[in-house]
Amino acid sequence: MPTTSSTTSAAPAPTGSFEEFQHPQVGDWVAMSGTVNDNTAFRIHSFAPDRWMLWSKPASTWAWSLRPIGAGRTRLVSRITAGYRWTRPTIVTDLLLMELGDFPMSRHQLIAIKHRAETSGAAGDD
């Protein structure tokens, strides 16, 4: 089991790699919680290995892009789009999570990814 590393005061982030996620395929689920369905999880829509990946679900997309910035450095860019369903009973929770909760969650996630990338050595080493 991978060890953990705390990158902020929030819950520890996993370190190391997870073999089950090393060979993604279009259509694979990307779970956001214990319940996996079209409303709670993304599916891999498309990707170019080591360049970009697009996840999608009915009302949202999440794009990931690796962009070389010179001198052996790479920037990870993450973009989320969400279409709100205003008639859903959960709209208030949806708005709170996306408008208030997304920034700290994304920040923690990107810091953890940065830490893993900088401490893993060569690509593929963990």
Share of the chain above pLDDT 90, in %: 34
Instruction: Specify which of 35-39, 62-66, 105-109 reaches the highest per-range mean pLDDT.
Output: 62-66
Report d(CA 126, CA 45) in Å as an integer.
27
pLDDT at 11: 56
pLDDT at 32: 83
Does residue 41 contact residue 29 with C-beta atoms inside 8 Å? yes
pLDDT at 7: 40
Residue 12 has pLDDT above 80, yes or no: no
Q: What are the CA-CA distances from residue 113 to residues 24, 25, 59, 76, 83 (Å)?
A: 17, 21, 26, 9, 26
The model's pTM is: 0.71
Residue 28 has pLDDT above 80, yes or no: yes
What would the pLDDT profile of 44-65 be if each residue is shown by its tens digit?
A: 999 999 999 999 998 889 999 9
pLDDT at 2: 41
pLDDT at 85: 82
Report d(CA 116, CA 81) in Å as an integer.
26
pLDDT at 44: 97
**Tokens matching residue 123:** 């690509």
Per-residue pLDDT band for 105 (boundaries 50, 70, 90) equals confident
